[in-house]
């Protein structure tokens, strides 16, 4: 069953009849059903890959720690946690207390440290990144060093050390990027795809995934709204009509697992997801906490878009619909464009992008249901 009602490229004519370009406040085209929410704790491919050694870069972050917890339910031989922060590693070591987990201090910017961590590894999940839009905006070269050059180090070291499969984690902000974080993640995708195209005999299958906002993740708007409500303050809305895809951490892990299981070299995987406006999200957080929130509009921040795109129409034109997921194959054309001149892709002109304004739209009650199913949110609000 698909996780969102949007199941494929929408012919432009049809879509323009059904979708308001900018949704009106208070007007929501509510679907009758909620998407199927993924079950936690099912890392199928790794359960099948008995006795494997797995490296997770950025392993102490939200994604990394969720992935590792799930991996530990499998017959994995060893999990290597690679990150810069010794304090977070120490916390994790104490918390997990599992001899299968080994800790590597290093930085993806430093090839030597990545090389040492990838020796003898079967599978790599590359989550280390600079992810904050504002910090990348002010220090774009740091995003280049970590997100682009660092990812290239992970790809090259994985291949040099015989890693079988590497999944690089990306973001919807990489599609039509407008900020430095999204641009650097778009370049990471290009580096991964170019590696696959230029190295057909490579040992390592390199793939990428793109997902949207992870609900209740650290530093994101949901914890902020909870904090504001607890302090009796109004909720600050950038633009009430701004939309974002909504995804849980478990769903992000399932996307990565799906990529791991199905990847051909250079593939990009996207998980379909519903979305809501920021106003609906704010009202839902209030409702979940039993408060009627006051709303204050503060205006759009640096580098923000009104809506996010998960897949461009050019990508959809070469994608395979896999139910809950899209698989976008690498564009295998070489630099000899002449031979493709007569074969323009007519399909592209009849499609639209897949974005957070035209995906399944959740209303307040549906968002409340989604939030209350999230352990992270329940912890935040103390229920
Ligand atoms: O006070 C606020 C803060 C945010 N928002 C809105 O809430 C939505 C979600 O905001 P988040 O800050 O949670 O998420 P972003 O889409 O802005 O991006 C977030 O996720 C990214 C990864 O995809 C990066 O990590 C980034 O730094 C981080 O802010 C956006 O429409 C934003 O405009 C508000 O309405 N009020």
Q: Can you give the three-state secondary structure of 160-193, one letter per residue?
A: HCCCCEEEEEEEHHHCCCCCHHHHHHHHHHHHHH
**What single-letter DSSP state applies at residue 324?**
S
> Is 173 labeled as catalytic in the residue annotation?
yes
**Ligand 1 atom 3: residue of nearest CA:** 221
Choice from 219, 221, 227 to test ligand 1 binding pocket (greatest atom count within 8 A of CB): 221
∠ CA 204-165-263, rounded to 5°: 105
Ligand 1 centroid distance, CA of 312 (Å):
21
The residues, ordered by sequence, that sit 6+ positions from 38 with a Cβ below 8 Å of its Cβ are 3, 248, 250, 251, 254
Closest ligand 1 atom to 222 CA: 13
Confidence (pLDDT) at 337: 72
Residue pointed to by tokens 């936690």: 40
Confidence (pLDDT) at 302: 86
- Helix spans in 274-349 (H): 278-288, 313-317
Is any ligand 1 atom within 6 A of the Cβ of residue 305? no
Query: Where does the pLDDT of residue 346 fall: very low under 50, low under 70, confident under 90, or very high at 90 and above?
Result: low
Q: Find the mean pLDDT for residues 258-276.
A: 96
* Nearest one of 176, 169, 129 to 307, comparing CA atoms: 176
Is any ligand 1 atom within 6 A of the Cβ of residue 171? yes
Ligand 1 centroid distance, CA of 376 (Å):
17
Catalytic position from the list 173, 185, 272, 305: 173
Q: Find the mean pLDDT for residues 202-220.
A: 93
**312: helix, strand or coil:** coil
Residue pointed to by tokens 């979305």: 275
Rg (CA), the chain: 21
**Residue % of the chain over a pLDDT of 90:** 77
Query: Where does the pLDDT of residue 344 fall: very low under 50, low under 70, confident under 90, or very high at 90 and above?
Result: low
Q: Find the mean pLDDT for residues 104-132.
A: 97
What residue segments make up the domains of the chain, in order of their start? 12-25+36-213+249-273+306-354
Q: Cα–Cα distances in Å, from 211 out to 249, 347, 357? A: 10, 24, 15
* Bridge partners, residue 275, by sequence: 245, 361
Q: What is the pLDDT of residues 24-58, one digit of tens each?
A: 222 223 232 233 433 444 555 565 567 899 999 99
Confidence (pLDDT) at 347: 59
**Ligand 1 atom 1: residue of nearest CA:** 236
Ligand 1 centroid distance, CA of 62 (Å):
16
Quote the CA–CA distance of 144 and 136 in Å, as a whole number: 9
Ligand 1 centroid distance, CA of 90 (Å):
29
Confidence (pLDDT) at 176: 97
Quote the CA–CA distance of 99 and 121 in Å, as a whole number: 17
Q: Which fold has domain 12-25+36-213+249-273+306-354?
A: Rossmann fold (3.40.50)
E strands in the chain: 53-57, 78-83, 101-105, 123-126, 165-171, 205-211, 235-237, 243-245, 268-271, 275-277, 295-297, 309-311, 319-321, 325-328, 354-355
Q: Is the pLDDT of residue 18 over 60?
A: no
pTM: 0.87
Closest ligand 1 atom to 242 CA: 31
Q: What is the pLDDT of residues 138-188, one digit of tens each?
A: 999 999 999 999 999 999 999 999 999 999 999 999 999 999 999 999 999
């Amino acid at each position: 069953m698909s996780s969102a009602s949007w199941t494929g490229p929408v012919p432009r004519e049809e879509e323009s009849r059904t979708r308001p370009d900018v949704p009106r406040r208070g007007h929501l085209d509510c679907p009758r059903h909620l998407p199927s929410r993924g079950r936690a704790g099912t890392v199928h491919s790794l359960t099948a890959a008995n006795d494997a050694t797995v490296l997770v870069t950025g392993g102490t972050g939200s994604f990394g720690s969720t992935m590792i917890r799930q991996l530990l339910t499998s017959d994995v031989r060893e999990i290597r946690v690679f990150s810069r922060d010794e304090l977070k590693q120490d916390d994790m070591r104490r918390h997990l207390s599992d001899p299968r987990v080994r800790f590597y201090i290093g930085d993806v910017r430093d090839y030597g440290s990545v090389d040492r961590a990838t020796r003898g590894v079967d599978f790599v999940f590359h989550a280390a990144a600079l992810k904050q839009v504002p910090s990348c905006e002010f220090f774009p070269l740091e995003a280049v060093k970590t997100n682009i050059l660092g990812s290239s180090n992970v790809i090259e070291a994985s291949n040099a050390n015989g890693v079988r499969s590497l999944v690089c984690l990306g973001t919807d902000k990489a599609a039509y990027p407008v900020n430095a974080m999204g641009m650097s993640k778009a370049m990471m995708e290009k580096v991964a795809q170019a590696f696959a195209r230029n190295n057909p005999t490579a040992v390592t299958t390199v793939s990428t995934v793109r997902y949207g906002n992870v609900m209740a993740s650290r530093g994101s708007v949901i914890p902020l709204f909870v904090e504001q409500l607890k302090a009796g303050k109004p909720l600050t809305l950038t633009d009430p009509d701004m939309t974002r895809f909504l995804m849980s951490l478990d769903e992000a892990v399932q996307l990565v697992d799906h990529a791991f299981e199905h990847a051909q070299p250079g593939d990009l995987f996207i998980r379909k997801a519903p979305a809501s406006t920021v106003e609906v999200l704010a009202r839902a957080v209030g409702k979940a906490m039993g408060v009627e929130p006051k709303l204050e509009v503060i205006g759009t921040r640096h580098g923000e878009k009104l809506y996010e795109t998960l897949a461009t129409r050019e990508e959809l034109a070469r994608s395979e619909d896999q139910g809950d997921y899209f698989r976008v194959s690498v564009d295998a054309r070489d630099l000899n464009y002449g031979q493709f001149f007569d074969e323009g892709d007519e399909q592209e002109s009849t499609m639209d992008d897949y974005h957070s304004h035209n995906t399944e739209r959740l209303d307040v009650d549906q968002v409340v249901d989604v939030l209350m199913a999230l352990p992270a949110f329940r912890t935040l609000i103390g229920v």
